[in-house]
Structure formats: C-alpha cells, structure tokens
Amino acid sequence: MKTTDRITRALDLFWKLLTGVVMTAFALMLVIMAIQVISRYVLGIAVSWTDEASRYLFLAEIFLGSVLALRYQEHIRITIVTDILSPSLRNIAASVADVICLLVLLMLVVGAWNMMDRTAGVMASTFRMSFSYIYLIQMISALLMIGLLLGDLYRRIAGGPTITEEGRSD
C-alpha cells in the first residue's frame, strides 16, 4: 500500500470519527435535555448538572460541527457577487476570503489559548470539569479549520482544483 493511500485512509477515518463525535454530542445533549425537562416538569425535581452538561455539549457540537461544515463547504455564503465574476477573479476573491478567515481563526486560537490559561483552575459549578476544556475544543476546531483553509489556498494558488471545485468526498 502506498503512503498516499495510507494518508487518505487515515484522513477518511479521522473525518468519520469527528462526525461520530459531533453526532454523539448532539444525541447526548438531546438525552440530557429530555432528562432535564422530564425531571423538572413531570417529577418536580431539578437535576442541577443537566443544564451545564447540555451547554458544554452544545458548544462542542458547534465548534466541531463548524469544522465539518467547512470541510463539506456547507457554511452559509452569499454568492451574488462572486457568481458574476470570471473564474480568475472568483479565484482571487476566494483566496482573499480564505486569508481573512485564516486571520480570524488565528485570533480565535490565541484567544482560546489565553482563556485556557486563565480558566485552568476554574471548575464547572455542578461537576468536576475545568472550563479550560471548552476553550481547548475551540482551539482544536480553529486549528483544524486553519488546516483546511491552508490546503484550499495552496491548491488555489498552485492552480490545481480546489476542494470546492472537485467536491469533498467521504
């Protein structure tokens, strides 16, 4: 088996695992929210950890899900201007947009790193988990998106087909 085949298989496995993590976080959030509603309104008992746990799962789902949305080009975008551009100008506009996104994501990484440092000793109020894990997920997500954008930018500059043009496959 060639090295490129191994890398492709490893990346396919990674994307499947990430999809599984996001789907699991969503399913757990739904179950926990159902427990919260049933316990509060049917049983009249407030289960304190459900609110915080569902919030953390929701944040993980948002950040990790945004990586998947970028990979599959599913983020919302307005293309009214780029649709009328020539292919070369569309390529330039996409490259500029990628650079702007990279700068924003780099700021997000720096901010997440700083917040991880500040919240390392701060624990969640209802269970033993450091707040820094929330910012770790944010930083990992931003780094993954930076990798995707750098790959697209490289392919665009090198003149090869970008992932957007050839479509991302499972």
* pLDDT interval class at 160 (50, 70, 90): low
Please tell me the number of Cα atoms within 13 Å of 39 on its side-chain side. Answer: 13
Length of the chain equals 170
| pLDDT above 80 (res 168) | no
Region of 27 please: left (phi>0), alpha (psi -120 to 50) or beta: alpha
More confident residue, 100 or 127: 100
Average pLDDT over residues 93-111: 94
| pLDDT above 60 (res 170) | no
Domains of the chain, residue spans: 3-166
pLDDT in tens, 43-56: 888 888 888 899 99
Nearest Cα residue to 109 out of 56, 146, 73: 146
pLDDT in tens, 8-67: 899 999 999 999 999 999 999 999 999 999 998 888 888 888 888 999 999 999 999 999
* H-type alpha helices, 38-131: 49-71, 87-118
